[in-house]
Structure 1
Amino acid sequence: MSERADFLQWVESELRDAEIAVHNGDAGPRRAIWSTAEPVTVFGAWKTGTTAAEADAVFGLLEQNFSDCTSYVHEVVSADVSGDLAYTVGYEHTSASWNGEPRTYTLRVTQLYRRENGAWRVFHRHGDELS
């Protein structure tokens, strides 16, 4: 299997599972796949963080407000790996409750990853709502 195919398998399993968990109110799996080595940035659809600590605080707010994820699909439009760096660009189609209110929405998302101690870690996310 190619390095790109291995990376995409990780995206379609561990990354997907972490995103479903955060949309069910559990940011633990997302925290596990995010880097704590600076630089770390989150330019989220709702909140921004420009350090690992600020990103963790954003994840805390997400897990407090999300619940009942009934659907999550990460539609990867473009992705590649170069050495210990990788990226994905795509759409996240999600149905979950926010503060108890069901919502369905699509985010345009770009994420950057680096390999740390042999494992992929997210270190940048930019997401905004598709209008």
Structure 2
Amino acid sequence: MANGDAEPLAAIWSHGNLVTTMHPIGDRQVGWNAVSTSFEQVAQLASGGKVELQQQHIHIVGELACETGIEQGQITLAGQSVPIEHRVTNLYQREAGSWKMIHHHTDISPAMLAVLERLPQA
């Protein structure tokens, strides 16, 4: 997504109606259709990004896993370079033998919001 292509995210996510996300640009999306649409919207504005998970911690209980860490990197959003550094929590569920993301939550990013606020309203 940070490089303009949201498609790779589809492979790691569950596609159910109960998946959720709370992005660094705010709002909450519920259900795969809303989650994937939000990724596509960000991807349309993003390029040249690289984000890595630091200080990763994973806790597994049965068929659920919780991952926490710090996402760090940089992204060009609507032509503006924006630093990425926020806490993240991801939840996964085992589906047909594979781990699929069911929730993604990060801190709000004032830098990303500032860029988006300068964009003309659609």
Query: TM range, normalised to the smaller chain?
Result: 0.7 to 0.9
- Say what the alpha-carbon RMSD is for the aligned residues: 1.6
Counterpart for residue 34 of structure 1: 13
Amino acid at match of 2:63: D
Structural mapping, 1:1-131, within 5 Å = 22-46=1-25, 47-69=27-49, 71-129=50-108
Structure having greater relative contact order (Cα 8 Å, sep ≥ 6): 2
Alignment CA distance shift 1:63-1:35 (3 Å): same
Matched residues in 2 for 1:66 and 1:50: separation?
22
**Percent of residue pairs bearing the same amino acid type:** 29
More helix by percentage: 1
Matched residues in 1 for 2:57 and 2:109: separation?
17
Gap runs ≥5 in structure 2: 111-122
TM-score, normalised via structure 1 length: 0.76
Q: Give the SS at the match of 2:11.
A: helix
Amino acid at match of 1:48: R
TM-score, normalised via structure 2 length: 0.81
**What's the CA shift for 1:80?**
1.1
Aligned length: 109
**Counterpart contact for 1:108–1:129, Cα < 8 Å:** no
CA shift digits 1:39-94 (9 cap, x unpaired): 1001111142012111011111111111012x322013421112211011111002
Gap runs ≥5 in structure 1: 1-21
Matched residues in 2 for 1:111 and 1:32: separation?
15
